[in-house]
Copies of this chain bind each other. A is one copy, B any other.
Amino acid sequence: MNSPFPFSALCSVLWCFCAYAGGVLDVSRFGAFPDDGKDDTLAVRAAVTQAKKQGARKLVFPKGRYDFYPDMAFERYQFVSNNAEGLKRIAFPLDGMTRFEIDGQGSDFLFHGFLSPFTIDNSQDIALRNFTVDYARTFHSEGKILCVTNTHADIEIPEDYPYSVENGLLKFHDGKPRPARTLYPVSLILEFDPVKRETAYQARDYGVGLDIRAEDLGGRRVRLLREKLKGTPGNIFVFGPHLRHVCAVTVTDSSRVTIEDVTLYHCGGMGVIGQRSRDLFVRRVRVTPPPNKNRTVSITADATHFVNCGGQVVLEDCLFELQIDDATNVHGIYVRIAKCVAPAIADVQLAHPAQHGFDFIKKGQKLELVKGPALTTYAYPVVKQVERLNKEYTRLTFKEPLPDTVAVGDALAAIDAYAALTIRGCTIRGNRARGILLNSRGPTVVEGNTFHTAGTAILFEGDARLWYEQAGVSDCVIRNNLFDSCNYGVWGTALIEVRAGIDPAFRAGSRYNKNIRITDNTIRYFHPGMLRMYCVQGLTFSGNKLEKTDAYPQWNPKVPRFETPDCDDVRIEE
């Protein structure tokens, strides 16, 4: 070419103009095109790298379907609280970013294999908007119940869930030939009602280890060789995955994160997990199975979950349905005193394996020291030195000796950040287990939501013996919600419960939860249990409209309506 302004330079200018105008990057400029079925992972990596380099504000996706494979994805060893740790592949690694938005513009993001969609790490002012998340092969599997006897159950497994029966064991996989085949191990069986779109009435979890003895009957029919299974023909056995490897959105050590207008059809862990972060806003997020597929459940663990988070945590106008665990849980972490090495030195343990690697204790930090069985705080030691031994054990040196009464099994937790929690306008229904677990000591407001939960709709938990979750609300309002025929499942005996791990011998002296006001709710109920609470200081139940229904058979009509032992300042007005 003879032009003094070569064609390639012109292209560059145009490209810069299109791609960078207003600090907005278009993913198609990096090679990701909708609906072409090609792996868009490297294009996103390149786009995110470029966004960091130039400080772009936004990455947009022309509407369509995008595919993401793990092969070329970013990799990091992640400890994700209440999920499985591991060396993970991540499609959207947003790390060390400030003021950045992903706008899917209504696109569908389809993930393949063990690939985590989003990680937001050490970042501020991040937004995810306007897309759906689904997987080509789900982490759980499903089978339609054909018949159930005392010795076995026959199911029919849709083609969406490749499997084989090998060595007399049912194995789910991705359908590829060996050795490329990836297994999708399961360890739970739970019955769902596909018509009512919820866990089957009074269905319970069957733990199956990793070995499900089975016989292949041909024609995608399999006989599960397990005695005393219960199930109704036509219902669905859901096989829950063994571990929670693949969360949809992991937010770690970040602040001001917004997730809006996002639909999570599926992932292999929690939907949104926030840890050691603050100011998290989840609005119009829909956790639901995709339409028009042989899929009964949505995601395979809690819809959302927040650990050691501060500032505001807001769930607004969300739908959380048919996931295989609770809608949310907002709590801290206790470390267990494993050994008193010296008066001012203790080895502490992250005692639950799903909390391994959750380093939250810093030099100079003031902690609370609680009696393990009572959950009563008896000192506020200040940390002088932190020596991480490994993901499980840390050696702490304190500024002053610990009290003489300290004992192995007592616990320490952070007290410097509690989330102000708002749950408003959400619908929670059909999922396994409970609705919401309120365990933050910040102001907690639950209003205008609809609950149709298999277990307890609202639970106050916390313990230093099993889950090691710090809890104990101090200011909690539950108002103007609709509770619609909850407690049709096995996870709880009343609509609203305390199940904190406080040894009964210590309950008279413990007031772990404070100031709970349950007012002006509409409660449609077939099950009589309303409140089952203990160790609460200040409990009001008033202005609520109770409407009896016969939505389900009574499974325990003798459950008292209100149980409030070891509580003070209780006001219950029916």
Q: What residues make up the interface of A, taking CB atoms closer than 8 Å to B?
A: 42, 45, 71-75, 77, 85, 87, 89, 166-169, 209, 211, 213, 347, 389-393
Out of B73, B75, B85, B390, which one reaches A72, CB within 8 Å? Answer: B390
B209 and A166 within 8 A (CB): yes
Q: Within the complex, what minimum Cβ distance (angstroms) separates A8 from chain B?
A: 15
- Are B169 and A211 in contact, with the CB atoms below 8 A? yes
Task: Determine how many copies of this chain the complex contains.
Answer: 2
Let me know if B209 and A393 touch, CB within 8 A: no
Contact A71 B393 (CB under 8 A): yes
- Given known contacts A390-B89, A391-B87, A167 and B73 CB-to-CB distance under 8 angstroms: no
Q: Once the chains are docked, how many angstroms separate the CA of A77 from the CA of B73?
A: 19
Residue of B nearest to A389 (CB): B72
Indicate if the CB atoms of A211 and B75 lie closer than 8 Å.
no
For A89, list chain B residues within 8 Å (CB).
390
Beyond A89-B390, A390-B89, whether A167 also contacts B209 by CB under 8 A is yes
Inter-subunit contact A213/B72 (CB<8 Å): no
Residue in B87, B167, B390 whose CB lies within 8 Å of A75 = B390
Q: Contact between A77 and B87 (Cβ–Cβ < 8 Å)? A: yes
> What B residues does A391 contact at CB under 8 A?
75, 87
Chain B residues contacting A166 (CB-CB under 8 Å) are 209, 211
In the complex, A409 Cα to B202 Cα: how many Å?
Answer: 56
- Residues from chain B with a CB closer than 8 A to the CB of A393 are 71-72
Q: Which residues of B contact A209 (CB under 8 A)?
A: 166-167
When chains A and B are docked, how far (Å) is the Cα of A85 from the Cα of B169?
28
Complex Cα distance, B391 from A89, in Å, reads 10
Smallest Cβ-Cβ distance to A70: which chain B residue: B390
Beyond known contacts A72-B347, A167-B209, A167-B211: 4 more, CB 8 A cutoff: A42-B389, A71-B392, A72-B390, A89-B390
Q: Please, how many angstroms separate the alpha-carbon atoms of A532 and B505 in the complex?
A: 79
Q: How far is the CB of A342 from chain B (nearest CB, A)?
A: 13
A88 nearest CB across to chain B (Å)? 10
Across-interface contacts of A169 in B (CB, < 8 A): 167, 169, 211
Contact partners of A389 in chain B: CB under 8 A: 42, 45, 72-75
